Amino acid sequence: MKQGLSLKVLVSGPCELDFSWYGMIQDKLLRRTVRQGARVLDVGCGKGGVLFGLSGQIESGVGVDISTNDLASAENTRGKKDLRNLTFIQANAMKLPFPSNRFDVVLCLGDVLSSSNLYGYEESVLSEMKRILRTNGTAVYQGTNWEWEYRLTPYWTFFTRQANGSFYFHRTKRRASGLEIARDYKVVSKSPLHQWILQQKWPKSPHDRTSLDVIEERPVPPRWLEFQGRNKYRNYTLRSLRRAFENGGFYNVEVFAYGQTYDIVSKAGLLGAVEHSKPQLAKAEAEMAFKLRMGSGPWLFLVGRT
């Protein structure tokens, strides 16, 4: 290893490599939660994938996001599919541009509440979600089970790469309260650290968004890093997520963890053997989790009522 550089590469877990099976489970959970003919709002809709999947069973769907690029992609796909019951609008989750009591279901999927740009404003987002729901409306939240992710250590240190060939280094630490502080750095080009990264074999993933997880056995020399800033995130455990929605005025709040089937099969080295059984296994786990409200794994699924 380069002088002054002592990094240990860690093996990436299943939930960091392949979301397809987890996505199948989520899809089954959503289809069992969103009733036929519902009017649905998806907060943080991204490229609209969830609404496209639900379009055949809902009366109408509106997706909001702050990313103009993602919304443009969603609108392009909507046009190609000729889905006239869907609409995509740019909006901030803290101030939704809709009258009160407008929707039957509001979705908030993919760690939206944990994003850095909403840190400290989570209560405002939940208040808006409750406001736009009708009486007896349904709120659905999905996100990372951070108690699972940080079960071994409060630290997470990793590299990410950009399309232009540059690399970034991230040092994160999670406190018991759920606060995560991330310090982000750009790796200095042509430095020994940069050369080391180029020699590493990155995990392969269908979505090509993998990170290179490492342990700093000795801190990386500061001269090989350019500090980019510090971000704060609010991470949730099963209990703290339920408490947040209950404090936000939602009733009959139920939340459970899922994803254990994939992790067990992956750990056993049997992914190849069950490749053609993924849909059946995903359906089975979704049914068990939904009926029994129990399970474990890297993802959380919450349902609350107004």
For residue 17, what pLDDT band results from cuts at 50, 70 and 90? low
% of the chain residues with pLDDT over 90 = 69
Residue 292 has pLDDT above 90, yes or no: no
Confidence band, pLDDT 50/70/90 cuts, at residue 153 = confident
% of the chain at pLDDT higher than 70: 93
DSSP letters for the chain: --TT-EEEEPPPPHHHH--HHHHHHHHHHHHHHS-TT-EEEEET-TTSHHHHHHTTT-SEEEEEES-HHHHHHHHHHHHHHT-TTEEEEE-BTTB-SS-TT-EEEEEEESSGGGSGGGTT-HHHHHHHHHHHEEEEEEEEEEEE-HHHHTSS-SEEEEEEE-TTS-EEEEEEEE-TTSEEEEEEEEEPTTSHHHHHHHTS-PPP-TTS---EEEEEEEPPPGGGEEEEEEEEEE---HHHHHHHHHHTT-EEEEEEEE-HHHHHHHHTT-TGGGGGGHHHHHHHHHHHHHHH----SSEEEEEEE-
Angle between helices 278-292 and 260-267 (to 10 degrees): 130
Q: pLDDT tens, 133-143? A: 999 999 999 99
Amino acid 243: pLDDT: 96
Q: Which domains does the chain have, with CATH numbers?
A: 6-14+151-233 (no CATH), 16-147+235-305 (3.40.50.150)
Q: pLDDT confidence of 296, banded at 50, 70, 90? A: confident
The mean of the pLDDT values for the chain is: 90
Cα radius of gyration (the chain) = 20
Quick: pLDDT tens for 243-284: 999 999 999 999 999 888 877 887 788 877 887 888 888 888
Contacts (Cβ under 8 Å, ≥6 apart) of 82? none
pTM: 0.89
pLDDT digits (tens, 9 = 90+) for 167-213: 999 999 999 889 999 999 999 999 999 999 999 988 776 555 678 99
Task: Answer for the pair 229, 116: CB distance below 8 angstroms, yes or no.
Answer: no
pLDDT at site 176: 86
